[in-house]
Amino acid sequence: MTMHVPVRLGPAETVLIEQLKAAGATAEAERLAGSGLPTRRVESYHYTDLKTLLRSVPAIAKAATGTGPAAFEVPGSFRVMIVNGEIQNTGTAPAGVILGHSEGSALSARDDVLVRLNGALVDRSLSLTLEGSVDPVIHIDRRSEGGAGHTLSSVKVYVADGASATIVESYSGSDAAHVANHATYVALGKGARLTHVTIDRSSRKAAHFATNEYRLAEAAQLRTLAIHAGAGLARTHLFPYYEGAGAYGEITGLNLVADGQHADITMDATHAVPHTSSKPLFKTIARGRSKSVIQGRLVVARDAQKTDAKFMAQGLMLSDEAEILSKPELEIYADDVVCGHGSTCGQLDEDSLFYLMSRGIPKAEAETMLVRAFLAELLDGIEDAELNEALQAVIDSWPLGN
C-alpha cells in the first residue's frame, strides 16, 4: 500500500493558492496544493528550485500607470506599455501593425507551473498582427509599478506570411520586491522574418519570470535574444517549435549576474518536420557570489529528417565564487540529421589581457574590450542600429569588477 505524503507548503505557495481560488481557478489551486512549487526533482527546474528560491509572493498588483522614463529606450521605436498587467493607451500604430486584445493567456497549455499560473490568472492578452515590412522597432514596455505586487501579463504576436519586423520587450519597474510572470506567444507565417529581443531591467529585489513560445511555419526565420540584467531571481523559458520545412531559428541569450543574483535561461526546442535548422547560442558573464543556469534541449521528431541543429553554451567567470551551470541535451528520433552541442566555461584569457596592457591599455579598459569581443556575436545579428547601440549600452554599463 502506497501512502500519500502531504506536501509541506511554504508562504509563497500558500499565497499563490489563495490567488488562484480568488480567480476561480479551483482546479489549478488544488493541483498546486498537491504538488507545490517545483524542486530539484523536476528536471527543468533542477538548478532553479522555486520552492527554495521563491520565498514569498505579494498580492496581485493593483492598477497603475507608467509615468516615468523607460528603463530601456530604443530611439524611433513604436512603444506599447503594459503596467501591472494592464494594457495602456497605445496611440496610433504604424503601417503594418494591427493592435488588439484576446481573452486569457496567449500560451499553449503545458505542464509547467509558471505557464499554468499565467493561464489561470491572466484575463486578457495584448495582440499584435504584423503585415508587410514593419519599419519602426516595436517596443513592448512591461512594468511592475508601485509597491510590491504579483504582476502577470501576456502578449500574442502573429507575423503574417512574408512579413518582417523587430520586436523588443523590456521588463522593469519600481524598486520593490515584485514577482512578475510574463508570457509571449509568437507565430511566424510562411517566409516571415522576425527579430525578438527581451531584456530584464527589473529591480534587484524583484523576481522575473518569462515564457516565450515560438511557432515557425515554412521558410520562416527567427532570431531571438533574451537578456537577464536586473532581477535578483530571473528565469526565461523558451519553447521554439519548427513546424514548417525550411524554418530556421537563431535562439540566443545572455545572463549577466553579480553578487546574489540567480539567472536561468532554459530552452525546450522541437524540430517537428524535415529540413529545419537552428543555432541556439547562450552566454554568461558571472562575477561575485552569483549563479547562472543555461539549459537546453533539442528534440528531433521521428519524421524530422535532414534537421541541422547545433547548441552552444559559453560562460565567462570573473570571480572564484561565481557558478555557471550548463546542461545541453539532444533527444533525436530521426536518423538522417546533423546535430551537436557543446559547453565551455573559463576566465578572461591572461595572454590576451597581458597583450593589450603591454600596448598601454589600462587593465579595466582591456577587460572591457575582451568582454565585448566575447559577446559580439550575440549583437552582430541585430541589424537595427539604434537597437544594437541600446543593447551595447546595457552591456557596457554592467560592472566588471569583483
User: Could you state, in order of their start, the residue ranges of all structural domains in the chain?
Assistant: 73-349
- Residue that wins the pLDDT comparison between 318 and 1: 318
Q: If you average pLDDT over residues 343-352, what whole number do you get?
A: 89
Average pLDDT, the chain: 94
Q: Is the pLDDT of residue 400 over 70?
A: no
243 pLDDT band, cuts 50/70/90, is very high
User: Cα(258)–Cα(204) distance, rounded to whole angstroms?
Assistant: 10
- The sign one gets for the Cα dihedral 263, 387, 72, 169 is negative
| pTM of model > 0.85 | yes
pLDDT over 90, % of the chain: 85
Assign 2 a pLDDT band (cuts: 50, 70, 90).
Answer: very low
pLDDT, residue 71, reads 86
Distance CA 333, CA 307 (A): 11
DSSP letters, 217-266, are -TT-EEEEEEEE-S-SEEEEEEEEEE-STT-EEEEEEEEEE-TT-EEEEE
DSSP state of 304: -
The number of angstroms, rounded, from the C-alpha of 4 to the middle of its chain's C-alpha atoms is 36
Rounded distance, CA 382 to CA 378, Å?
8
Task: Please give the distance of CA 302 from its chain centroid, rounded to a whole number.
Answer: 28
Listed residue (262, 258, 267, 246) closest to 327, CA to CA: 267
